[in-house]
């Protein structure tokens, strides 16, 4: 994890079907490369389209900024910032954003926050955490969700955010056309080219071409460690007709082995459906509501609240740090 004070990036880098597999593109000999989505080719995002409010389905990708506040048993407090990617979609007329849980939930095992990335000795150290707080900002217009759902199984790295219709009117996201179809990862052939979509600390979304190097139960293993900010992004499979099929959601990267891990979208969809249907396997958290999660008190604050500070908050646009 890279952690910092109020102005530096911190994200636990825990990044890391198709209708017919015969349609999938075979492996290519082209070198791996980043493809930046410039504003000239794609707009930074698209605001709420009133005509599509009732149209269920996938809408696009949004950059997520989260500020976490923590307090330990000795009274030491601090904040750090995480960033990632969210999938924007509508179901039954309601707007949602699906992302990785580790972006939304503060790290319950946090032991230190670096105060100077160039000096590892300058850090704020913590004992056991007893209190945490989270402020969520969706996109550069700083839209805050009205509710979140977390799986009761803390090993499931998925979080569901609900966005009100009023707030959706100002949420900026990147439109993206993909297909979501049931697909068992066990039927995927190794060596297929994929596209990994996310926001690696940039204003515009990016895609990186990686190859499937292994399939382990419900997880895809990709042949390169992705950058910070791809967490919660999508792994898609290009097909010969020009379409894109979603395979998985990016979770974490292993820098030592230079690999990335993604969870099968079918598993992500189970958590989403449980949340939308009010299943007891998910925890529902409204703003300023506290629940015990991962052995700490997790409070989901209003966007303009600052956890653990008695003075009035400085409302500088901290989420624009990576523009």
pTM: 0.80
Query: What confidence category does residue 233 fall into, taking pLDDT thresholds of 50, 70 and 90?
Result: very high
* Backbone angle region of 278, left / alpha / beta, with phi > 0 → left and psi within -120 to 50 → alpha: left
Average of per-residue pLDDT across 213-224: 89
Buried b (16+ CB within 10 A) or exposed e, 254-267: eeeeebbbbbbbbb
d(CA 249, CA 233): 6
Buried b (16+ CB within 10 A) or exposed e, 58-89: bbbbbbbbbbbbbbbeeeebbbbbbbbbbbbb
Nearest to 233, CA basis, from 95, 88, 39: 88
Q: Give the pair of three-digit tokens for residue 142.
A: 């700083």
Per residue in 158-199, pLDDT (tens digit) is 999 999 988 888 888 888 888 887 677 777 878 888 999 999
């Amino acid at each position: 994890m890279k952690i910092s004070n109020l102005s530096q990036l911190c994200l636990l880098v825990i990044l890391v079907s198709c209708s017919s597999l015969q349609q999938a593109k075979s492996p290519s000999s082209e070198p791996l490369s980043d493809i930046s989505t410039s504003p000239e080719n794609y707009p930074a995002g698209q605001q709420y389209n009133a005509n599509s409010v009732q149209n269920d389905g996938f809408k696009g990708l949004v950059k997520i900024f989260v500020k976490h506040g923590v307090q330990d048993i000795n009274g030491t407090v601090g904040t750090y910032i995480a960033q990632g990617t969210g999938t924007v979609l509508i179901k039954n007329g309601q707007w949602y954003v699906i992302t990785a849980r580790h972006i939304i939930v503060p790290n319950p095992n946090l032991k230190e926050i670096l105060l100077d990335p160039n000096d590892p000795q300058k850090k704020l150290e913590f004992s056991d955490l007893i209190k945490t707080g989270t402020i969520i900002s969706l996109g550069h217009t700083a839209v805050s969700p009205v509710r979140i759902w977390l799986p009761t199984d803390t090993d499931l790295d998925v979080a569901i955010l609900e966005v009100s219709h009023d707030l959706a009117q100002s949420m900026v996201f990147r439109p993206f056309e993909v297909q979501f179809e049931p697909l068992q990862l066990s039927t995927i052939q190794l060596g297929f080219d994929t596209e990994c979509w996310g926001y690696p600390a940039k204003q515009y979304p990016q895609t990186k071409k990686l190859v499937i190097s292994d399939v382990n139960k419900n997880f895809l293993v990709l042949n390169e460690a992705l950058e910070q900010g791809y967490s919660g992004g999508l792994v898609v499979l290009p097909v010969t007709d020009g379409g894109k099929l979603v395979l998985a959601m990016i979770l974490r990267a292993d820098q030592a082995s230079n690999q990335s891990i993604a969870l099968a979208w079918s598993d992500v969809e189970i958590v989403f459906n449980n949340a939308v249907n009010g299943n007891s396997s998910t925890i529902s958290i409204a703003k300023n509501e506290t629940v015990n999660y991962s052995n700490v008190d997790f409070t989901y604050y209003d966007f303009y609240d600052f956890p653990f500070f008695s003075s009035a908050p400085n409302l500088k646009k901290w989420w624009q740090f990576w523009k």
